[in-house]
Chain A
Amino acid sequence: MRLSRYSFKTNESFLDYEFISTGPRGAVRKVVRFTQISVGVFNLAFGDLEGETGEIRDSVVTNNNDSRKVLATVAATVHDFTLQYPGVWIIAKGRTHSRTRLYRMGITNNWQEISMDFEVYGLESETWELFEPGRDYIAYLVRRK
């Protein structure tokens, strides 16, 4: 089953994405960024963009009751990004353990779709293991098959 997600925009580089989360807190502008950190490896990070200050807050849960939809949208940006940058690795790590667990839930919820197209690893201690739904990891690494 494909989860609902927000429509999103990117610029010419396909490294920066934006979408609007809507819910009880109103419209929250989300930014997703893929930053190259090594040859063939990009870091995935995202947060809420504060319109007035330009600050970005590291939050997937903005009490907008849409965390699943937000994660599905971020997953869709990974799909788009890897179409433009095939063969690269994407690393993702939450700021806190609970945040990283939330990423795991996001991967698990979208696993059927993700596993068809991507190799997914989870970091356990200091070793990358093939991702197994339901297991906790420190960070995640994905690459389009």
Chain B
Amino acid sequence: MPTETKNKNSSKRKKAFAIVDTKVGNYEKHPFFVRKANEAKALLKATGLPKKLAKTK
């Protein structure tokens, strides 16, 4: 699986509603979200992406 968090550096960030707070946890490895991600991965494997995407790519 490709690694995530290839985020842009702060100076290039677009204006957002959210308040950036370093106290907000990183839930990447939380079992709840891991399970949810695995379920979504299985679904996506079965369905693929919309055909329109395939044409535009």
Using CB atoms and an 8 Å cutoff, list the residues of chain A in contact with chain B. 7-18, 31, 33, 35-39, 41, 43, 45, 47, 54-56, 58, 76-77, 79-80, 83-85, 89, 91, 93, 121, 123, 126-128, 139, 141
Q: A113 to B26, alpha carbons, bound, how many Å? A: 29
Q: Which chain B positions have C-beta within 8 A of A16?
A: 24-28
- Contact at A11–B16, with CB atoms within 8 Å? no
A84 in complex: contacting residue of B13, B32, B36, B49, CB < 8 Å: B13
23 inter-chain pairs at a CB distance below 8 angstroms, sorted by A residue, are: A9-B21, A9-B24, A10-B16, A10-B18, A12-B22, A15-B5, A33-B27, A33-B36, A36-B1, A41-B49, A43-B40, A43-B41, A56-B32, A77-B18, A83-B13, A84-B8, A85-B7, A93-B39, A93-B43, A123-B43, A126-B46, A139-B43, A141-B49
Which residues B12-34 have CB closer than 8 A to chain A?
Answer: 13-28, 30, 32-34
Interface residues of B (CB under 8 A from A): 1-2, 4-5, 7-8, 10, 13-28, 30, 32-34, 36-37, 39-41, 43-44, 46-47, 49-51, 53
Q: Nearest residue in B to A129 (C-beta to C-beta)?
A: B50
Cβ contact within 8 Å between B33 and A56: yes
The listed residue (A41, A80, A89, A139) touching B18 by CB distance below 8 A is A80
Rounded to whole angstroms, the CA-CA distance of A10 and B7 in the bound complex is: 13
Query: A8 vs B4: C-alpha distance in the bound complex, in angstroms?
Result: 22
Q: Which residue of A is nearest B57, CB measured?
A: A40
CB neighbours of A8 from chain B (8 A): 17-19
B15 touches A83 (CB 8 A): yes
Contact of B16 among A33, A55, A80, A91 (CB under 8 A): A80
Residues of B with C-beta under 8 A to A55: 32
